[in-house]
Amino acid sequence: MKRLSFAIMLALCTMGVWAQEGIKVEFEGATPNIFDLAWSYLLNYDSNSEDSEATSGIRDAMERYLQNENQDKNVTLIVDKKAGFISYKHLHQGHAQLIEMCFWNESDKKHKLFAFSNWSYFNDHPELGQFDALAFYRYDNATKTMEYTLTPGFDVIFENGVSYSLPRVGKDIKVNKWNKGVKTQTTLKWNGHGFDK
């Protein structure tokens, strides 16, 4: 029941994004990079909406990145365009927010799968937070838009002690589980259009 209620809450939180006719992705060149996809996704949130509370920190960090300004002392931002990966971490008194974004080129060569991951931690252990999420959007090369899509190939687990790591190296997602201080990790393998357990 707990997993179902969090899944419903996630769907309602993202409804404002995907209920529209897709997110227009602005970019220069032949194809968007991870920054283009991530920036378009973040700009789609209404700055006055409840959802923006979860993304305001990374939006500020990415604006600083664009302006070539230093980040706040508690913020770490990694923008790896070559790997198609962005990571944002905000640390405060043992509490951390970790946001990761990446994309995969789909095997049909017409789409990209973009992922947004947001997890809360306390003393380096996942502690389920209000805005924790793993959401996917499909980018269409022809329309230059991306739309919300169901999680491809697996169900996201929303409970204390569980988090997901998006790939900076390779293509697979790691599922991290802590039990009594011991961490185990399983792999969700990319298959060209989704993930195999």
List Cα–Cα distances, 103 to 5, 15, 38, 69, 170, in angstroms. Answer: 27, 21, 9, 26, 11
Tracing tokens 């185990």 back to the chain, one arrives at 184
CA distance linking residue 164 with residue 118, whole number of Å: 9
Contact 45, 58 (CB under 8 A): no
As for how many domains the chain has, the answer is 1
Query: CB count, 10 Å around CB of 183?
Result: 13
CA distance linking residue 60 with residue 90, whole number of Å: 12
CA distance linking residue 23 with residue 144, whole number of Å: 8
User: Residue 180's pLDDT is what?
Assistant: 86
pLDDT in tens, 15-31: 444 445 799 999 999 99
Which domain, by its residues, includes 175?
A: 2-196
Residue 119 pLDDT exceeds 80: yes
**pTM attached to this predicted model:** 0.87
Q: Nearest to residue 91, comparing CAs of 108, 111, 71?
A: 71
**Stronger pLDDT, 38 or 51, i.e. the higher one:** 38
Residue range 22-48: mean pLDDT, rounded: 90
Mean pLDDT across the chain, nearest whole number? Answer: 88
